[in-house]
Homo-oligomer: A and B are copies of this chain.
Amino acid sequence: MSKKTAIVTGCAGFIGSHLVEFLVKKNYNVIGLDNLSTGYKKFLQNIDRNSFKFHKVDLLKDNIDKYFKNVSEIFHLSANADVRYGIKYRNKDLQQNTIVTHKILEQCVKNKIKKFIFSSTGSIYGESKEIPTKENCAFPIQTSLYGASKLSAEALISAYAEAFDLKCYIFRFVSILGPRYSHGHVFDFIKKLKQNPKKLNVLGNGNQKKSYLHVIDCIEAIWKSKNFFQKKVNIINLGTNEYITVKKSIRIITKKLRLKPKLFFSGGKRGWIGDNPFIFLDTKKVKSTGWKPNLTIEKSVENTVEYLISNKWILKKK
């Protein structure tokens, strides 16, 4: 059987680089696109160059026509993933998440690419009252520009699927943890503790409840779901059966670091405007594929801390 060619956007990112490795192992040719704004080429250094080609590309501004010839699947992972600064840089989510997705979908039409895999987010549920939140929960109200931009991308993908005989897989992620993790609360806490191991400022009251998933479990779930679900539009939550509070997360991190910092909470239910105080997704659908996560949230946090300790360079973020 001839090798399939897949595009991975955001290939140099945390999740993207693991996905490229995975797909190469599954005998794909992979074309990786990334603007290296938050990704790192060194994440890709061990990947066999016979099966993988990297291109530094600005998906928003560059002409991207040439990369999409003879491609059978697109894994569209590139995104602005920083929820917190949506309010400050108010064009970014719209441009990087919504408009870029539209541009990639146009490539599907032009090149008759029939499979589109997308990394969406549990943030699109806003502050859903249904917890754990199902894929078909009550029509949510957006509370962040990040969530809004990802919901817009989902909507575009579904409409293109309807019109152009495209099979799409929309994965609504909880926060992902594991090796190469390079933004989010574990990252922020370790960075702060490196500067001052005796105190830690925490956004919100620390009682926010969040769910996490390990990156390797995440990619296995994507793979299993893609083989299992065969509707035109497949929307799948990815997460674990658990959630933990920010305080608990801090305890795991500080125990691992053997630190006992004094905690200072900024207060309030939410860490920032648009922060969802309780994220916990219903994962029955993904589990119906036979998938289940190998790592608990606690193990995932520990594994992330271990990675950051042995890769301190990443804490000096671009």
A residues at B contact (CB < 8 Å):
86-87, 90-91, 94, 98-99, 102, 106, 109, 126, 135-145, 147-149, 151-152, 154-156, 158-160, 162-164, 233, 235, 273-274
Contacts and interface: CB of A to CB of B under 8 A. Distances in A.
A148 B141 contact: no
A274 B159 contact: yes
21 contacts: A90-B106, A94-B98, A94-B102, A98-B98, A98-B152, A99-B99, A126-B158, A135-B139, A138-B139, A139-B139, A142-B154, A142-B156, A142-B159, A144-B159, A144-B162, A145-B160, A147-B155, A151-B151, A151-B155, A159-B274, A162-B274
Contacts of A159: 86, 142-145, 147-148, 274
A282 to B, nearest CB: 12
A273 B158 CA distance: 13
Contacts of A149: 155
A90 B273 CA distance: 33
B163 A141 contact: no
A120 to B, nearest CB: 12
Contact of A142 (B94, B141, B162): B162
A152 B139 CA distance: 13
For A91, A109, A140, A148, which residue has the most chain B Cβ atoms within 10 angstroms?
A: A148
Contact of A138 (B94, B137, B233, B274): B137
B136 A139 contact: yes
